[in-house]
Amino acid sequence: MGRFRAWLSARGRFQFCLTVGMVTALTGVCGALILLPNSVLPKPNAAQAASVESYAQAKSDDPRLAAVRRTMEPFGALVARRVPTGDGKESIVVGHAQQDGEMTVLEGELGAATDAVTQVWGTDWAQSTVVVVASNPSEFAALVHAGADMPTEIAAASVADPFAPGTTPTGQRVVFSPESGRRVGPEGLRTLLRHELTHVAARAKTADGAPLWMLEGFADYVAQHGQGHRFVDIAPTLTARLRDGDTPADLPTDREFGGAQAAYAYERAWSVSEYVAEKYDQPKLVDLYRRVAAAKVDAAGEDRILRDAFGVGRADFVNDWRAWLRRQIG
């Protein structure tokens, strides 16, 4: 199913994000329709070039490359860059030589992005990720287990193998499309990386079919947290409606994350997480995610969770959030 999300970057560029959900893989995919020249990506210097390891060197001591090797080798020789992440952990950025610009940006952002996710979510995740940059649409679709009709607007995806509840997910990786750098630029890559790493971190605690207002709103909260973006920058559609006197009546339904109103749904979802973190504190937001995302729940189930977590029913929670929204536009 398709899901859309829009925001304004700190530099005021409108961006558009498409997220695709896969029931067995919980794949989140984000992309941007703004087309930027390749010149927005940095060129590698001699030191960066020297830090690149050949695939033959990397594969012998990191079994995580085995799965991507089978998919990527037919498209050309691989380049793998090791990046220190987490508590002595090591992540890998993998791609082909022609994607060096995107790989350089992601290599530079991966350590900080991992730390940013851990600071919010906690340390109970691998903190060690394979980040892949595809060289063409066919390779990208294969890496995220998608069909040939995968939308070309998609810029990034997080993927995990199917797994039983209570076990540790395997095969997790974040995959960027060949056009991702050109479409979103370095700042967009940073935000997308943090969003997708949040899905990776939370996957073991996330049930298929859990409410999207919690899943996607929380991932956007982590992606935006601490970056200094204003409410209007992150939620331009929501801001415009609020200024017109149109306050959301309820939390977004899963259905709203697809189609023409999806940007509005994503922005409302982000705002719910922002509201919870501001009113109750960030650890309580994480606790709410773990409760809501643990199963497929309806409105009655959400009511029970909210009463247990915050001592308020769903109706009062929504009303308080709506009042908070109106205060954001002063």
Per-residue pLDDT tens for 268-304? 999 999 999 999 999 999 999 999 999 999 999 999 9
Tell me, what DSSP letter sits at residue 214? H
The better pLDDT of the pair 211, 168 is held by 211
Instruction: List CB contacts of 112: < 8 A, sequence separation 6 or more.
Output: none
- C-alpha span between 283 and 5 (Å, rounded): 25
At CB < 8 A and 24+ separation, what contacts does 315-319 make? 318/250, 318/251
CATH 3.30.2010.30-classified regions of the chain: 60-205
* Residue 27, CA distances (Å) to 24, 36, 72, 116, 243 in order: 8, 25, 19, 21, 34
**What band does 54 get if pLDDT is binned at 50, 70 and 90?**
very low
Q: What are phi and psi of 129, to 5 degrees?
A: -130, 150
Q: What does the pLDDT average to over 1-15?
A: 30
pLDDT at position 259 is 77
pLDDT at 14: 30
In angstroms, the CA 182 to CA 184 distance is 6
Find out whether 278 and 327 touch, Cβ atoms under 8 Å: no
pLDDT tens digits, residue range 83-131? 999 888 999 999 999 999 999 999 999 999 999 999 999 999 999 999 9
pLDDT (tens digit per residue) in 302-316: 999 999 999 999 999
Closest CA to 279 of 321, 246, 312: 321
Q: What is the mean pLDDT of the chain?
A: 83
Q: How confident is the model at residue 161 (pLDDT cuts 50, 70, 90)?
A: confident
DSSP annotation of 129: -
Using the structure block, give the residue that is written with the tokens 């536009």. 329
Query: What ranges make up the beta strands (E) of the chain?
Result: 2-8, 14-20, 28-30, 53-54, 79-85, 89-95, 130-133, 156-159, 173-176
Q: What distances in angstroms separate CA 29 from CA 19, 73, 86, 183, one per listed residue?
A: 4, 23, 24, 14
294-326 CB burial, b ≥16 within 10 A, e <16: eeebeeeebbebbeebbeeebeebbeebeebbe
Give the pLDDT score at 126.
93
Per-residue pLDDT of 254-270, as tens digits, reads: 999 887 888 899 999 99
What pLDDT is recorded for position 245? 97
Query: Considering the entire predicted model, what is its pTM?
Result: 0.83
Percent of the chain with pLDDT over 90: 67
Q: Is the pLDDT of residue 202 over 80?
A: yes
pLDDT at residue 149 greater than cutoff 90: no
Confidence at residue 169, expressed as pLDDT on a 0 to 100 scale: 86
Percentage with pLDDT > 70 across the chain: 81
Q: What integer pLDDT is reported at residue 58 of this predicted model?
A: 53
| pLDDT at 326 > cutoff 70 | yes
Domain 60-205 top-level CATH class: alpha beta
Lowest model confidence (mean pLDDT) among 51-55, 100-104, 137-141, 249-253? 51-55
Has residue 30 got a pLDDT over 70? Answer: no
